[in-house]
Amino acid sequence: MTLFGHNLTDSAQLRPLEPWQAEEFAQYVDRVRPHLAPWLPWAHFVKDTESARQFLQRYADTQSQDGGRIFGIWVDGTMEGGALFRIFDVPAGVCEMGVWLSPDAQGKGLVTLAARHLADWALKVRGMHRIEWRVTPSNTRSIAVAKRLGMRHEGTLREVFAFNGVRQDLEIWALLAGDAA
């Protein structure tokens, strides 16, 4: 039984991911860590139930102030991915999304469906003006999602952050409320 969820397909559901699900989230990250770790900093520090709880609690705290939010994607009741608003700045009208999936859950459009739903909510219900997507240039699957969402590549921040021992570029993609109309 689930309290709140959005059906992405007959078998896949997008639901809030909350601190009480820390154990399930920690086990999920452990299972798919090699797939996520090249791209997602939190896949390095979510290592056990306690670090997962702290990570989810930070999102619960920011959500309570109408800031960031985090969601999981379950397929046939098993956690297989997620999506988040890393930033949700209502006064500025700007938010930033992030996504992930298990390797076996890729190729079915689940993250595009989830991101579209969250983008629609942000733009149409919450009146946000701009949704950002930050991605390293070598992450072709993530860039393909940004394109499917109708985002435009606005520019590249060169060597903007150190990750996995290398200074990485970050592409900024974005969708504006006017683009989606």
Ligand X SMILES: CC(C)(COP(=O)(O)OP(=O)(O)OC[C@H]1O[C@@H](n2cnc3c(N)ncnc32)[C@H](O)[C@@H]1OP(=O)(O)O)[C@@H](O)C(=O)NCCC(=O)NCCS
Binding site for ligand X (CB under 6 A): 35-36, 39-40, 98-101, 106-112, 135, 139, 141-142, 145, 148
139 exposed, middle or buried (CB, 10 Å; 0-12, 13-18, 19+)? middle
Smallest gap, in angstroms, from Cβ of residue 146 to ligand X?
A: 8
Shorter beta-carbon distance to ligand X: residue 127 or 137:
137
Closest residue to ligand X: CB criterion: 109
Shorter beta-carbon distance to ligand X: residue 54 or 138:
138
Shorter beta-carbon distance to ligand X: residue 41 or 127:
41
Smallest gap, in angstroms, from Cβ of residue 82 to ligand X?
A: 9
Cβ atoms of 99 and 73 within 8 Å: the answer is no
Shorter beta-carbon distance to ligand X: residue 106 or 156:
106
Smallest gap, in angstroms, from Cβ of residue 75 to ligand X?
A: 11
Cβ atoms of 175 and 150 within 8 Å: the answer is yes
Between CA 147 and CA 139 the distance in angstroms is 13
Smallest gap, in angstroms, from Cβ of residue 175 to ligand X?
A: 15
Residue with tokens 């798919």: 32
101 DSSP β-pair partners: 81
Q: Which amino acid would we find at residue 84?
A: L
Count other Cβ atoms within 10 Å, centred on residue 70.
22
